[in-house]
Structure 1
Amino acid sequence: MFAVPSFYWALGGLVGASSTVSPTLVQLARERHPGFLAVLWVTGVLKVVGGALGLALASRRGWGRNANRLLQLAGWGAGVLLVWHGMLFVGQGLLVQAHVIGIAPELVPVSRWYTYLWGPWFVAGGVAFLLAARAHLRGVAERRDAAIAGAVGGLGALALSAAALLAGIG
């Protein structure tokens, strides 16, 4: 379900986008900018892959040593990325709402969507991944190896996110 908006916008639909998404992104979608369309398609596919990852983590099936490591790496990495991303939305939005930082007046309504819908939605998804990865780890025979892979995934995601933020990307 989370992938539907990405595919919808990539196919040219814009209903509801102007009130819930950054005007810059809406303009790129409206202009059918090829680079942005590619980002939308890739984002949609990654969301579908994320859904499959969540299902794999939630299953009780034994996946094998390397698959369990990969599931832990990806599960903890995805969880940390989503929580971090959502908290950035919420944190920045709360600072805007408290008038600590300013934004253009036309962005205030969109900022509320990011603060109260998109941010918490990302945090909830991240927490779900972290809980699924933790539950999956309990059923893994080679728990130590999988736990190390999960730690690498989580710490790697945190380092990547921090680097992107410092570079002005996130």
Structure 2
Amino acid sequence: MLLNDEVQLLRKVPYFCRVDPCKLKLLAFTSDRVLYEPGQVLFTQGESSDAAYVILHGTVDLLTRSSGEDLKIGEAGCNSIIGEMCLISNSLQAVTARAATEVEALRITKDTFFKVIADNPRMSLEISRTLAENLRGSRYDGTNRIDHHVL
């Protein structure tokens, strides 16, 4: 995939929709493209976080551990970002993210994520706006989908 294609995909993510295309090009260039087969884990509940993932293709199940079993509490698909809240809050992963299908993602390291935020105050505003919208809206809509931005 060309760098310009990645920039266009990043613009579809709420946090990045109003970020300068040059900054997105730098973000795409400094991030790693990763592939996961169904069943592979992107990150595990309780682990420290070192990256966020923008899902380019495929579906990721979001799971929580309860009574020794993994329970699906949601899913993330194309153009969504997961793991970013743990970066922002410097906390442990709240869920396990496991590929439900073949997944192609852009892995954005903590350092890269914060550099883009520092270089683009507008992104801080977009993160705050997205968080507020998620808190105001319904997190669970009865279809076993949860708003992944709050995780």
- Normalising by structure 1, we get a TM-score of 0.28
Greater percentage in helix: 1
- Normalising by structure 2, we get a TM-score of 0.30
